Amino acid sequence: MNMKEEDLKYLKLLSKNFPSIDETATEIINLEAILSLPKGTEHFISDIHGEYEAFNHVLKNCSGVIKEKIEFIFGGSILEKERNQLATVIYYPKEKIEMIEALGENMELWYKKTIDRILKVLQVVSSKYTRSKVLKAMTKDFSYIIQELLYERGEEKNKKDYVKGIVNTIIDINRGKEFIINVSNLIQRLVIDNLHIVGDIYDRGPYPHKIMDRLMGYHNVDIQWGNHDILWVGAACGQRACIANAIRICLRYSNKEILEDGYGINLLPLATLAMEIYDQDSCRIFKPKIKSKIDEKDLELISKMHKAISIIQFKLEGEVIMRNPTFKMEDRLILDKIDSETYQVDLNGERHQLLDDYFPTVEKSMPYELSLKEKEVMDGLLRSFRNSEKLQEHIKFILEKGSVYLKRNSNLLFHGCIPLDEKGGFREVDIFGKKYSGKRLLEKCDQLCREGYYDDKNTQARDFIWYLWCGKDSSLFGKDKMKTFERYFLEDKRTHKEMYDSYYQFSNTKETANRILNEFDIKDGCAHIINGHVPVRVKKGERPIKGEGKLLLIDGGFSKAYQDTTGIAGYTLIFNSRGKRLVCHEPFENLKNTIEKCLDIKSTNEVVDYREIKLKVRDTDIGKELESQVKELKKLLDCYKKGIIKNS
């Protein structure tokens, strides 16, 4: 069968969806109109690290975009206090309305004023979409009413009276609050067309499970995996070293509620083991990193559990390293280098005194073998992780919506780095006997992550998931080694230092950034690499724009553990029809103040790519797909007109 016959076969299949000239022509007109609309807004967020409230607020205010719309619409026509209140109503409609009601406000007047204003905001944010797309974004509640109010707000007296009558009826039947909640949620949905999470949803903060629930309900999201995310992928599929790491980090930040309440992980056997083995041990160096008050007994228990799982982790990691020589991580085998008499450890020819000298479960002859009780605890934890329905649901979503890297609208998104050698070239990495570099390396890592999760028998792939968490050549980790042992047990700060991949040196040059973009077949002169992973230390004069403008570092800075060091709460990125701009955020205080006092996160903008001519849908990846569809539909239309395919 020649190519022409293949084309005809395809067009006959297409004709089943568009069986007439009229229907085909209508679809062509519709798609051409969509291509002429402004490009939708993309929102880029990275390194959320369990900080749900701050993340949720940035999601609700779209890094300040909703406030900008309010300023654009109302400017000086209403007071700043009223503009702030309107923004808060859109972010948190239910909570804010209930507060206003409690203050004794004349609610009939307030509803009339607020509904009018909120509909004006909806008109603006919906204007870049087709009526069909706006309709699909609506819930069934108030769908018809919102359409009428949105599209019938004309200047004619009849129209004005019609709209006024609808609003009055909404208020008269006590549906004002529900209506505003519905419209506010619609505004939040329409203001962002696509959300990109550039890695690290998990660890440090207390609510990664809530963040995952929020993302699963979001209309259009993709995730580029961070090393903290992939750690939880490994834990969910039963990789024991990943399980131990995930638990250790939760205990280090006193977040065991993530495990127990969020995912139903049974920590009681670990607590029992810890109290039995470390009953007389203060576990001083294992006290969690917390700023809030905690009961002394709870603190003691968490510290002991923290130490117990840390020792288990070092043993399990030793097993992984020894059965995977291609990882080349023998320098991470430290338990066998502890002198049990002096409690010193030999690292790179230097002896260091340990800050802790109590290792009752570490056998000198078999330091990496779990004791019988440790093994029983790990067996139980593995079952808990594997059987947690909520965790498995979240991890499957991460795999379904995620990847190691993403190409979107001439931008390259990945969390950490592209491993480079000391000369700035793509470093070859040995993965189980075969070498990979650049784009092929990231694709192989992606493949192994999926195989490790979905194939119960693929131990090798599961070990590789752990390697991606902390290995030298992991694009998600981007450092020479993870010095967990040294940070716990050695006072000498020099031993704590982790060296960044050469990527972080060479990506400061435009030449390297362009070479990386070319490796991924991205040729657009306005293209950018968009990374997370590394906090921008603004206090030290660091900038988020690297590679002479080609690389944008958007570590969200949500983690409170970093904010004292960075001096800010990180960056997000907005990419709309006018180009890209970085948004620098100050720390989120608390939800109560935000709602009561109408306080927003203070943010500043920095334009990195301004377009004089607005980008249209036809300039995007989706636009290219639509143009291809138009091309095929025009062929079908021609076939109908020539009688090659019968018009029904």
Q: Are 583 and 555 in contact (CB under 8 A)?
A: no
**Whether residue 151 is found in the same domain as residue 264:** no
**Whether residue 446 is found in the same domain as residue 300:** yes
Q: Are 277 and 360 in contact (CB under 8 A)?
A: yes
pLDDT band at 229 (very low <50, low <70, confident <90, very high): very high
Cα–Cα distance measured from residue 411 to residue 528, given in angstroms and rounded to the nearest whole number: 5
**What is the 8-class DSSP label of residue 38?**
B
Q: What angle do CA 211, 215, 220 make, to 5 degrees?
A: 155
**Whether residue 74 is found in the same domain as residue 115:** yes
**Whether residue 291 is found in the same domain as residue 364:** yes
Cα–Cα distance measured from residue 62 to residue 146, given in angstroms and rounded to the nearest whole number: 22
Asked whether residue 328 is assigned to any structural domain, the reply reads yes
Asked whether residue 619 is assigned to any structural domain, the reply reads no
**pLDDT score of 348:** 85
**pLDDT score of 154:** 64
**Sheet containing 545-546: order of strands:** 405-408, 411-414, 528-531, 551-553, 545-546
Strand partners, 194: 42
Query: How much is the pTM?
Result: 0.94
pLDDT band at 562 (very low <50, low <70, confident <90, very high): low
Token pair belonging to 620: 């995007």
Interacting residues of 547 by C-beta distance below 8 A, sequence separation 6+: 507, 508, 509, 510, 512, 513, 529
Asked whether residue 504 is assigned to any structural domain, the reply reads no
Helix (H, G, I), strand (E, B) or coil at 631: helix
**Whether residue 32 is found in the same domain as residue 141:** no
pLDDT band at 252 (very low <50, low <70, confident <90, very high): very high
**What is the 8-class DSSP label of residue 500?**
B
**Whether residue 69 is found in the same domain as residue 183:** yes
**Whether residue 231 is found in the same domain as residue 127:** no
Tokens 């001519």 belong to residue: 613
Strand spans (E) along 369-457: 402-403, 405-408, 411-414, 429-431, 434-436
**Whether residue 97 is found in the same domain as residue 219:** no
Token pair belonging to 227: 């090393």
For residue 553, which of 382, 415, 404, 387 has the smallest C-alpha distance? 415
**Where is 199: in which H helix or E strand?**
none
Q: What angle do CA 71, 75, 77 make, to 5 degrees?
A: 135
Cα–Cα distance measured from residue 393 to residue 53, given in angstroms and rounded to the nearest whole number: 22
Q: Are 327 and 289 in contact (CB under 8 A)?
A: no
**Whether residue 354 is found in the same domain as residue 390:** yes
Q: Are 17 and 169 in contact (CB under 8 A)?
A: no
Asked whether residue 125 is assigned to any structural domain, the reply reads yes
Interacting residues of 597 by C-beta distance below 8 A, sequence separation 6+: none
Distances (CA, A) of 281 to 267, 290, 299, 357, 358: 20, 21, 13, 10, 8
pLDDT, tens only, 112-158 = 999 999 999 999 999 989 888 999 999 888 999 989 888 876 666 67
Range of 77's domain? 55-191
**Whether residue 249 is found in the same domain as residue 392:** yes
Helix (H, G, I), strand (E, B) or coil at 358: coil
Cα–Cα distance measured from residue 75 to residue 69, given in angstroms and rounded to the nearest whole number: 9
**Whether residue 350 is found in the same domain as residue 461:** yes
pLDDT, tens only, 626-638 = 999 999 999 999 9
Helix (H, G, I), strand (E, B) or coil at 530: strand
pLDDT, tens only, 399-418 = 999 999 999 999 999 999 99
Handedness of CA 575, 34, 218, 243 (dihedral sign): negative
**Where is 168: in which H helix or E strand?**
helix 157-172
Asked whether residue 574 is assigned to any structural domain, the reply reads no
Token pair belonging to 23: 């229907």
Given 402, 435, 470, the domain boundary residue is 470
Asked whether residue 499 is assigned to any structural domain, the reply reads no
Q: What angle do CA 197, 203, 209 make, to 5 degrees?
A: 70
Question: Residue 343: left if φ>0, alpha if ψ -120 to 50, beta else—which one?
Answer: left
Cα–Cα distance measured from residue 478 to residue 495, given in angstroms and rounded to the nearest whole number: 18
**pLDDT score of 1:** 42
Given 191, 225, 258, the domain boundary residue is 191
Asked whether residue 487 is assigned to any structural domain, the reply reads no
Total of domains in the chain: 3
Mean pLDDT, range 6-25, rounded to an integer: 93
pLDDT, tens only, 331-382 = 999 999 999 889 999 998 899 999 999 999 999 999 999 999 999 999 999 9
Mean pLDDT, range 65-92, rounded to an integer: 93
**Whether residue 171 is found in the same domain as residue 319:** no
pLDDT at 319 over 50: yes
Asked whether residue 83 is assigned to any structural domain, the reply reads yes
Mean pLDDT, range 478-487, rounded to an integer: 95
Cα–Cα distance measured from residue 248 to residue 254, given in angstroms and rounded to the nearest whole number: 10
Given 470, 498, 515, the domain boundary residue is 470
